[in-house]
Amino acid sequence: MPLDGRTQTLNRLFKDREALDVVDHTLTQLGQVAMVSSFGAESVVLLHMAAQVDRNARVVFIDTEMLFPETLAYQTQVAEALGLTNVDIIRAPRAAVFERDNENLLHLHDPDACCHLRKTEPLDRALRGVDAWITGRKRHQGGARAALDLFEVDRPLGQLPRIKVNPLAPWDSDDLRGYIEAHNLPRHPLVAKGYPSIGCVPCTSPVGHGEDQRAGRWRDQGKTECGIHFGADGVGRST
């Protein structure tokens, strides 16, 4: 069955199912799968679900080498706490960073290029050959994410189409907080300091009362996505 038809069928079948059911089906029935995790503010929810299904599930963590020290420590803490045995830590090649950002200042004058170098390109390489990948995107985050389906067709440039899975698409902040509390999961230490969405140090700031939870990402730059969720045409999309 073509992927478009397959994802439509999956969306019908799992419309009213639990997120854990979506994760279970993805990890056990969709072939070679990777879960991409930032080990950020809410990442522990999906990681906990993956650990319940298969602790050896492949988890891809992009180390941009510009992350908060707290994020790096949290990545180790969560992986150990959940018993995840297959965390694939990826980085941009040293030669590419030296050539294009040898002073680590690219983010100041071209944040899109910085994200492409340090996040999009490494992830493109890491996902070559996978049949499906799992993300933590949610509709309540707004923007292009507001119309997310559970299952989408991802068409990466120069690669075969694959399935992109968003098990937490219908969840809101209360759902996430309730799950974390119910399972006594460790929180990212920066959440308590006003960081509901956490990326690289230079491009992440605390969020004020009443602001959107992603307002602290690329503040005042007119940028809302790092690029790993863009289509082959470079435009942010949800399908």
Q: Which of 114, 115, 203, 226 is catalytic?
A: 226
Determine phi and psi for 132, rounding to 5 degrees.
-155, 155
Token duo for residue 146:
């507001």
226 is catalytic: yes
The residues carrying an active-site annotation are 226
